[in-house]
Structures are given as structure tokens and as C-alpha cells.
Amino acid sequence: MRKYVIKRVAQILLTLYIYVTIVFIIVAAQPGDISQVYISNPRIPQEARDALKQRLGLDQPLHIQYVNYLKNIVTGNLGLSFTNYPQPVWEIIKERLPRTLALFLTATIIYYALAFQLGKLIAWRRGGVVDYSATVSGVVLWTVYTPWFGLLLIWIFAFQLGWLPIGKFIDPLKWRPFIKYISPNDVFNYILLYGGGGFVVLFSVYLFAQRLLQSYWARLSVNVGAVLLTAGSLGYLLFNTYPMGYLAQDILWHMILPAFALTAIGFGGYMLLMRDSMLDVVKEDYVMAAKAKGLPDKVVRDKHAARNALLPVVTSFVLSLAFAVDGGIVTETIFSWPGMGLTLLRAVVEEDLPLAIGTFVFTGIFALIAHLIADLLYAYLDPRIRYT
Amino acid sequence: MAAIAQRHYEAPWRAKLRLFLRGLSINWELFKESRVGLIGLAIIVFYGLLSLSYPILMATIWDHEIYNPVSGYDPVVVQQGGQHPAPPSARHWLGTDQHGRDVFSQLAYSARSEFFLGVMAALITVIIGTLIAAASAYYGGFVDTFFMRVADVAVLFPVIAFLIVLSAMFDLTLYSLAVVLGLIYGFGSITIVLKSQALTIKVKPYIEAAKVSGGSSFHIIFTHIIPNLLPLSFLYMMFNVTNAIFTEAVLSFFGLINIQMSWGMMVELANIGGYLTGEAVTRYWWLFFPAATSITALCAAFYFVGRGMDEIVNPRLRKI
């Protein structure tokens, strides 16, 4: 295990290095530099341009710039944003990150669980009407033109039915009395802390129940009890604390639609993958043996087939963290959710280069580290991985 | 004696052609069984005909001044008391947009560039992917490690985010976008998948035989490994066409590509004009609905064909 961890960490560090270097090459390869931005403005003298160049270190040879760039990334110095001038890029990222995280974790957990269950079921009944329609709708969800899908959701649920808010992440009217001493980010951190905590508790109770308890009814009652307790305490926090719970309600209210869109987009691909992987496993001899032993159909499906079929799905999940970033840009833009994706797009459109590069580098590093953690966790849970 | 022998002799190219045709018809039989594959093929043929219809209509019944997808304008609608965007009519089959241009003409014109972009990006991807996979499976060692690490980066690369950043610095056109997409995907997951396939080919007896009879590495890679990789490469090409078209549509929706007209841009124009909010969505449906549906349909079609081919290429997926 230790050897595996060291190997993976070294690989990820190398990957990180390549990633950061590619970004540097792209920036260095672009024609001109920052001092040329206002080239048509005659009131900026050449001396001012030179001074700017010198101050930013752009007059240095390329390899020294590269070393400086690496040094800055390691020390977390991503520069100052142009559009929010005196604010450092790092501050902006720190402000936007929890919003993206809250949205993503919710959507990911939901679609992953759903895709696993449904993929398992339709593969078990291959060739039926359910399988056929689920496959087609899975492909359509996976390939649907995301901006259009998001707009459609807004039109149906927010405009026609009026059930949900149209965009943005808070309702300013509700926040006005509190905005002096509570920032939206405090509330986001609050949601992440308690929501994430609740999920971790539930998941570990579930795992322990699976491992330790033999009888079906004992497991069921422990699981149901844990779900009720967590839901009850989270509900109490949400509805009976003021103003935190009150404001969290507002944010969660705005989160429903984007989270639903992300869930639908991610769901299709994973359901199809789970189905294919399950079809593969169903042909294995041990499934046949389990059936021949006379085990109930459900036991064969859930314990013998589905667990092994999950393996490639988890691998693909780990690999597709980057895709989550891409999907996030579209979703966040359509729903005006001010997270990392929208920040990146705005920065590019407004030509705020430090913010754009900073966000991009940070997103990549974040995805790589998440990848590493998921990988290690996975290797820990499944001993077969370590030896391959 | 010699004459008799000659009569039974078949030219090698003819034998190859016969085998190829037989393989094709067997594969077609297998492909026909997959209903999704056929649906996908039908959609692709439909859009192929649509893109063909543009030059034909332009040359025969359409007036260039009016029906040009980028610079056209129809004054007749306004003279008759209507206004742009005008609803579908016999004159404009899918109506006009806010600048008085014909939507059907835009749709048909863009179909060609979508096909071009998708196929070109996928071709680049597949060529790079197949070459790297064959080389790294055959040579192993440093070549293998290097390309697999590169693939690690490429797999984790947030492509759309990257292209958004890239568009801030460079002018992305249809061609450069196709090349960039082809390169990024070419070094990515396709090499990993194809390499594992190439590894199973590498240990086959005919590779040994080729080595023993003195075939060079180059010869073995190009005449023995790559032809056996091609079916799988072709399958992944289908999935890459989907990716490329989708990425282009998203980027042109954000207005980041320097392109004259595309389906994503049609949706963007409707969005900028404010036709995607509130009541206007149902009133001006022809502005975005044909384009958005076409993107989804064509992406899904290539994916469906890919899945249909999957059942031919991957014997493990065939029904027992």
C-alpha cells in the first residue's frame, strides 16, 4: 500500500508539473504581452510601458520568467485581478470555491447513486422496453445540448410554473438585514459543513451495517434509523436556527434547479456505463454459479454482479473530474451561479487574464488533487487495484 | 498445364476486395440488429442530405441576396407588413431571425461545418491515438511511460475551460478548433484504451512469425498491429465526433469562436436577442429550437452509431 501511495503521489506531482507548464507555454506563446493592451492609447508613453514590463518581470528572459511563475504558483501568489482591481486572484477563488463545491457535491452524490441503481436494474432485464427506453433517454441526456437544456428547465420550472427562482444564488431582499455581519460564504461553509457531515455519518453507518450486521432486518432498521436521525437534525438546523438556517434555506432554494440540471447531465453517462459494465459481469462464471446454487435473483444481482460491475464505473468517475469542471462552466453560466466556472468565463470575456489563468490553474490543481484522493481511497477500499 | 493453373489464379487485390466485401456484409448484418445504431445512421444520413441541400438550393431556387446565411436580408417580409423575426412560411421554411436571415438556410449551411469539424477533429484524434497506442504497446519502456503520463494529463484536462482560456489569447476558427480538439483528445483516453488492445495483439503468434521472418519494427507496427487496431479506433472516432460537435456548440454559444455561422451560434444569437426569456421562448421557437435540436440529434446520432458498432467490435457485448 505504501509503495502504491508513493507512486501515485509522484505521478500526480509530475502530472501537475506538466499541467502548469502547458499553461505557461500557452501564455508565453500568445502574441504581445500585457503592456501592449492599450497600444492604441497615445497618452501612455513608452516609458510607462517599459516600467510596467519591468515591474511584472516581463523583460526577463523566458526561462527566468518560468522559474518565477513556478515559484508564484507554489507560494499561492496568483496575482491581482484586473476587473476587481485591488483584489488578489486568490481571494476571489477562495470566495467562489465553496459555491461550486456545494453545487457539485450535491449533484454528484445524487446522480451517482441514481445511475448505479438504475443501470443495475436495466442491465438485469436486458432487451426489454425499459432497457431500450432507458438507453435511449440515457444517450439523449448525455448528448443533450447543455445550454439549451438549462434554459428549457428555467423556462418550465421558473417561468411557466413559477415554482423555483430564475437564476442567481441568493434573494437580496431576504439577505438585506443580515448582509452586514453574514456573508453568503459563511452560509455556504455552514451548508458544506453540516450537509457533508451528515452525508459522511450516513455513509459510514451504512458501511458498518453492511459489514457487521448479519440479519437483513437489523441492517434495515439501523439504516433507516440513521437516515431519520440525520434528516431530523439537519431539518432542525435548517428550519429552527435563525438567521443561519433561514439563509441556508434561501441558498438551497436557489440551488435546486442547477443541481437538477447537473444531475440530469451526469446521470445519463454513468447509467449507460453501469449498464455495460453489468452486462459484462453477468456473463462471468461466478454469476452463473451463484444462480445455479439457487440463490435468490436479487442476491445474485446485488451482491455478486453489481459489486463487481461498479469497478469500471468508479474508475471512470475518478477520471471524469475534469469533465465535471467543464459541465460546471455551462451550468453555472446558464443559471448565473457565481462559482468557479462563471468566474472563469467572465474573466475571459472581460479579458482579465490573471483571473482567467489563476482560475484555470487552480481548477486543474484542484481536480488533480481530488483525483489523487479518490484514487487512494479507492485503492484502500479495493485491494485488487494495488496489485495491478 | 500452366494455362489451367492460371485460370484458377485470383489477383491478390481481387481476393482482398472480396474478403473485405464479405466482412462488410457480415458486419452490416450484425449492425442491423442494433436498433439504436440504425436510428443513429438514419439521423446522420438526414443531416448529410440537409447539408447537401444547401448548395443545391442556393444554385437553383434561392436568391443569394436574400438567403445567404450570414449576410442575407429579406425586404419582402417587411414590405408585406410583417417584421423580423418572421414565423415559418412557404417563403422561409423555418422563418427568419432578427436580422432577416433565413433560418433554414443557416441550419443547412451549418450542418456542413458541423460535419467537417466533427470528422476532422475525430480523424486527427484517431490517427494520433492509434499511432501512439501501437508504438507504446510495441516498444514499451520509456515511450510507453512517457505517453501514458501525457495521457494522464490529457484525460484530466478540462477541455472546455482550456478552450475558453485559449480563446482569450488566440483567434479560434473552425479549422484551428478542429486541430486543437483533435490534439487534446488524441493524446487522451483513446491512447489508453487502444494501447490495452494493442498489447493483446502484440502477443499473438503472427507477430512472432513476422519478427522471425525478419520484419522490421516499422513493418510490424504498420502492417500487423495497426490494421488490427483500426476497428476499435473507428469506434472511438464516432464518440469523438460527438465530443467535438458538442464542444464547438458550447463554445459558440458563449460567443468565443471566430466562425461565420453554426448551430451553437444560432442559439447564442437567439439568446443575445432576448428570445430565450419569458414569453418569447414559445413565440419565437424557430429561432433556437431547430438549431438546439440539431446539435442534440447529431451528437446522439454519432453516439448511437458508436454503440451499434460497439456490438460488432466488442464481441464481449454480443448477446449470448
Question: For residue range A98-144, what is the model confidence (pLDDT) as tens digits?
Answer: 888 888 888 888 888 888 888 888 888 877 788 888 888 888 888 88
Q: Mean pLDDT across chain B, nearest whole number?
A: 83
Measured between CB atoms, which of A15, A140, A333 is closest to B152?
A: A15
Would the CB atoms of B168 and A356 count as touching at under 8 Å?
yes
Give the minimum alpha-carbon distance from B191 to chain A in angstroms, rounded to a whole number: 14
Query: Does the beta carbon of B161 lie under 8 angstroms from any beta carbon of chain A?
Result: yes
pLDDT at B4 over 60: no
Contact B154, B187 (CB under 8 A): yes
Is B150's Cβ below 8 Å from some Cβ in A?
yes
Quick check: B153 contacting A, CB < 8 Å?
yes
Closest in A127, A143, A279 to B303, CB measured: A143
Q: What is the pLDDT of residues A4-43, one digit of tens each?
A: 788 888 888 888 888 888 888 887 777 666 666 666 777 7
Cis peptide before B85 (omega within 30 of 0): yes
B43 pLDDT tier (thresholds 50, 70, 90): very high
Produce one character per residue of B154-189: b if its CB has 16 or more CB atoms within 10 Å, e if not: bbbbbbbbbbbbbbbbbebebeebbebbbebbbbbb
User: B20 to chain A nearest CA, in Å?
Assistant: 29
The share of chain B scoring above pLDDT 90, in percent, equals: 8
Q: Which residues of B touch A319 (CB under 8 A)?
A: 155-156, 189
Q: How many CB atoms lie within 10 A of CB A18?
A: 15
Residue A35 DSSP class: G
Q: Which residue of B has its CA nearest to A162?
A: B278
Does residue A164 contact residue A157 with C-beta atoms inside 8 Å?
A: yes
Q: Kindly list the residues from chain A whose CB atom is less than 8 angstroms away from the CB atom of residue B153.
A: 15, 18-19, 22
Q: What secondary structure letter does DSSP report for B112?
A: H
Q: Does B1 contact chain A (CB < 8 Å)? A: no
Dihedral angle of Cα A156, A162, A167, A172, to the nearest 10 degrees: 180
* Cell matching residue A153: 428547465
Instruction: List chain B residues with CB under 8 Å of A18.
Output: 149-150, 153
Select from A15, A148, A353 the Cβ nearest to the Cβ of B168: A353
CA distance B104 to chain A (A): 19
CA separation for the pair A380, A382 (Å, rounded) = 6
Paired residues of A88 in beta bridges: A80
Q: What is the pTM of this model?
A: 0.82
A372-A375-A377-A380 Cα dihedral, nearest 10 degrees = -130
Under an 8 A CB cutoff, do B161 and A280 touch? no
- How far is Cα B248 from Cα B256, in angstroms, rounded to an integer? 10
pLDDT in tens, chain A (388 residues): 778 788 888 888 888 888 888 888 887 777 666 666 666 777 777 787 788 778 777 777 888 888 888 888 888 777 777 777 778 888 888 888 888 888 888 888 888 888 888 888 888 887 778 888 888 888 888 888 888 888 888 888 887 787 877 777 777 777 777 777 777 777 788 888 888 888 888 888 887 887 777 777 888 888 888 888 888 888 887 777 777 777 777 778 888 888 888 888 888 888 888 888 888 788 888 888 888 888 888 888 877 888 778 777 777 776 666 666 666 788 888 888 888 888 888 888 777 778 888 888 888 887 778 778 777 777 776 666 555 4
